[in-house]
Amino acid sequence: VDAATSRRRSAEVRRAAMRCGDASRRRAVGREHEVVWERPSATDARGLSSTYHEIEVRGASPTPGSLGHVFVTAVAGDHLEGTLLP
């Protein structure tokens, strides 16, 4: 395969992967997800759902490595935003 064809095919695969990721994130909105917390900061926490979506919750500070439940409210670029559930 020549270089131009290889570049074109690679770009097509990247676009398809982006579309699939976008669609998956949109389907996650309005649902509850279990999350493993990875990177809490002073103002928010980020974690990874069981479906491998990054989820951010503002105003939460869970312990890294702990599990929590989040109701996802929005897509924010390449990650999801939500509310920590009790």
pLDDT (tens digit per residue) in 62-83:
889 999 999 999 999 889 999 9
* pLDDT for res 18: 67
Could you tell me where the DSSP H helices lie in the chain? 3-28
CA distances from 56 to 4, 12, 31, 67, 70 (A): 39, 29, 14, 14, 9
Determine contact, residues 14/66, Cβ cutoff 8 Å. Answer: no
Whether pLDDT at 56 is above 90: yes
Q: Which residue has the tokens 């919750």?
A: 57
Q: What is the pLDDT of residues 6-41, one digit of tens each?
A: 888 887 777 766 666 788 899 999 999 999 999 777
Determine contact, residues 50/33, Cβ cutoff 8 Å. Answer: yes
pTM of the model: 0.77
